[in-house]
């Protein structure tokens, strides 16, 4: 069943690509003029990439991938949306950045890519689209060089339980544990344009607790170097949040101490 659900998600993401590309959220024109889509968190924690090979999993239409290339990495981006990959290639050509983009379900990436990389990177709103984190972690380990590292910065699983529409309080609307079953949503619009009219409204998401994420990486043979949790997020999850100059979103009330994001760095033993 998960294959059909992932295919429904892929059709939706194909439809979302042009809407996202025109949005202020992604600021494609700003990127073309030399901007970066990376937030300070991942830039600081990943560190210098000059001279490194970097594989970006679930890259959407490639702005983060190309931002890493501007910092000196030799980049490969992967996404299962053909529309996203085609746009990423066009952007790379237009701005004159040497980058490779591959259309593939990352859980089947081994069938189309044998190369190993110094860094495997993924970020922000990616894990909920994957039904099998053990297969995900094996893909990461397969494509890391010995001594290379994996880095993820992502929604905190606890934050994903928040009811985004409750103005006066913070309350839980979605499960932290789901037993592996996908949650189905019927969604008109998208996070960049709530009024967008879509054909593909069905969306399926999988819940992955923090323990499952960490243990999947450990079982794949990676060594966790750190797990960081942050009291801020990368988008406005709740009406009581405001945006800071660095691009992160914080609750207005400092007494609300809630993990909204996490990051993990894990290394493949050499």
Render pLDDT for 88-130 as a digit per residue (tens, 0 to 9): 999 999 999 999 999 999 999 999 999 999 999 999 999 999 9
Query: Mean pLDDT throughout 141-155?
Result: 98
247-260 mean pLDDT: 89
pLDDT > 70? residue 1: no
The pLDDT of residue 20 is above 90: yes
Specify the pTM: 0.96
**Structural domain tally of the chain?**
1
pLDDT value, residue 167:
60
To the nearest whole number, what is the mean pLDDT of the chain? 94
pLDDT beyond 90 at 162: no
Asked whether the beta carbons of 37 and 112 are under 8 A apart, the reply is: no
Range of 145's domain?
2-268
What whole-number distance in Å separates Cα of residue 174 and Cα of residue 164?
A: 10
Res 241 pLDDT > 70: yes
Please say whether the beta carbons of 264 and 151 come within 8 A. yes
Q: What's the token pair of residue 39?
A: 């937030």
Distances (CA, A) of 73 to 96, 125, 237, 264: 14, 23, 31, 20
d(CA 211, CA 24): 35
- State mean pLDDT over 250-269: 92
Cα-based distances in Å from 90 to 2, 77, 83: 31, 13, 11
Quick one: average pLDDT of 238-254? 90
Report the candidate in 149, 164, 197 with the shortest Cα–Cα distance to residue 48: 149
CATH number, position 162: 3.40.50.150
């Amino acid at each position: 069943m998960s294959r059909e659900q992932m295919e429904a998600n892929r059709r939706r993401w194909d439809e979302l690509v042009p809407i996202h590309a025109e949005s202020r959220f992604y600021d494609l024109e700003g990127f073309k003029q030399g901007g970066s889509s990376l937030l300070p968190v991942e830039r600081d924690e990943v560190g210098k990439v000059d001279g490194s090979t970097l594989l970006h999993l679930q890259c959407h239409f490639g702005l983060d991938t190309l931002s890493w290339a501007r910092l000196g990495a030799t980049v490969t981006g992967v996404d299962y949306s053909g529309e996203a990959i085609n746009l990423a290639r066009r952007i790379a050509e237009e701005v004159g950045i040497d980058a490779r983009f591959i259309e593939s379900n990352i859980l089947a990436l081994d069938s189309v890519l044998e190369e190993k990389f110094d860094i495997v990177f993924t970020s922000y709103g990616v894990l909920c689209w994957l039904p099998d984190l053990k297969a995900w972690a094996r893909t990461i380990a397969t494509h890391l060089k010995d001594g290379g590292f994996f880095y993820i910065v992502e929604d905190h699983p606890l934050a994903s339980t928040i009811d985004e529409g409750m103005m006066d309080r913070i309350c839980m609307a979605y499960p932290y544990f789901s037993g592996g079953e996908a949650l189905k949503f019927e969604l008109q619009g998208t996070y960049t344009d709530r009024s967008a009219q879509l054909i593909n409204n069905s969306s399926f998401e999988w819940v992955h607790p923090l323990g499952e994420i960490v243990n999947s990486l450990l079982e794949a043979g990676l060594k966790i170097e750190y797990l960081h949790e942050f009291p801020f997020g990368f988008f406005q999850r709740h009406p009581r949040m405001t945006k800071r100059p660095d691009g992160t979103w914080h609750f207005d009330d400092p007494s609300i101490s809630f993990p909204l994001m996490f990051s993990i760095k894990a290394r493949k033993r050499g």
